[in-house]
Amino acid sequence: MRILVVDDSAIMRKVIIRELSNLNFDDDDIVEAADGNEALQIAKEKTFSLILMDWNMPNLSGIEALFEIRSAGITTPIMMVTTEAERGQIITAIQAGANNYMVKPFTPEDLKEKLLQILGTLPPPKKEQRVDMSEGKIIQE
Amino acid sequence: MSQTNVKSDLDASLVNPLIKATMTVMEKMTNTQVQMKQIFAQEEYLPSGDLSGVIGILGEQGEGTVALSFPLPLANIVVARFLGTKPEHLSSEDRCDGIGELVNMVSGQAKAALSNESGCLYKLTLPTVIQGAGHQVTSQAKGAPFLVLEFESEGHIFHLQLSFKRY
């Protein structure tokens, strides 16, 4: 499951990616964008299972990017992850095509619950790998 | 709790949401317990801490500034916990970005409280971070006093300051 994480705060992207990794998403399947413009360009070029979109960003905001992505005919599920907590803003985002909405601050449990609502399932636990030194084989457990 | 004679344009309906927002953000995002110490208003910004995350609130019915100020040791603790790393592994960029994101989240809650109270939509500017002992913050609401909320966490004092003027 490939996920696009859009936030102008590098530390917020790191926090979200850490939580996704804890939920067994593969780091190689997580792509980052630092503003709406970058997100729009990447969303046009690659296919994702989900886009996590901040609202307040420079250059092109999350809500503007959401409009543009939907106008481009891209139907990838999008969840706004934002400090915008007013009911009116949530309605605006949903009407613009957001599939779900999560207000910052959030806990890891909040994120897991929202991901399950959208994706229906989460990646299975990663198999641990160890090397059998006697035979030099990689063993998955 | 102490209070000066400075008259603030902020009514009590904003104080509780701000306290709750600060505590919730710190607890949820940095796993840090926070105690409310005191609230007071004063004419000008209270120079506080070593770095402040600052954000503007703009709306049809008023404008203002929110500043969240930390001493360096506490900033290191909370940003490290936010990021899931050790304080000694933080870069200056991580620290500034983390404090900016924390003030963004607290201000989002304050903005929602203002919007719900007035029925008018407010917007936030992008956060900036100011560093250095004794640094000053100028409010967007010129002449408006600062409401100072003093908290304690991990043995350190930190402040949330809000200056707001209604039109």
For residue B62, what pLDDT band results from cuts at 50, 70 and 90? confident
Q: Residue range A22-45: average pLDDT? A: 96
B4 pLDDT more than 60: no
Instruction: Give the span between the Cα atoms of B143 and B164, in whole angstroms.
Output: 9
Token reading at B129: 């971070």
Query: Does B32 touch chain A if contact means CB atoms closer than 8 Å?
Result: no
CATH code of B105's domain: 3.40.1550.10
Q: Which of B83, B115, B126 sits opposite A58 (nearest CB)?
A: B126
How many structural domains compose chain B? 1
User: Measuring CA to CA, which residue among B64, B153, B107 is closest to residue A103?
Assistant: B107
Range of the domain at B59: 12-166
Q: How far apart are CA B49 and CA B41, in angstroms?
A: 18
Half-sphere exposure of B134 (CA within 13 A, CB side): 0
The 10 Å Cβ neighbour count of residue B13 is 11
Beta pairing class for A50-53 and A3-6: parallel
- Domains recognised in chain A with CATH numbers: 3-140 (3.40.50.2300)
Q: Report if residue B6 sits inside a domain.
A: no
- Using a 10 angstrom Cβ sphere, with 0-12 exposed, 13-18 middle and 19 or more buried, the burial of residue B97 is buried
- pLDDT of A140 over the 80 cut: no
| Rounded Cα gap, residues A31 and B85, in angstroms | 21
Please compute the mean of the pLDDT values over residues A64-73 and round it to a whole number.
Answer: 97
Is B31 a domain residue?
yes
B150 touches chain A (CB under 8 A): no
Q: Is residue B1 a part of any domain in this protein?
A: no
Q: Are B84 and B94 in contact (CB under 8 A)?
A: no
User: How many beta-carbon contacts under 8 Å exist across A and B?
Assistant: 62
A contacts of B29 (beta carbons < 8 Å): 15, 104-105
What digits encode the pLDDT tens for the residues B77-127? 999 999 999 999 999 999 999 999 999 999 998 888 888 877 888 889 999
CA distance A35 to A24: 25
The per-residue pLDDT for B6 is 55
Is the CB of A58 inside 8 Å of chain B's CB atoms?
yes
Cβ contact A15–B126 (<8 Å): no
ipTM metric = 0.83
CB of A15 within 8 Å of a chain B CB? The answer is yes
Note whether A112 contacts B: Cβ–Cβ < 8 A. no
- Min Cα distance B54 → chain A (Å) is 15
pLDDT of residue A32: 98
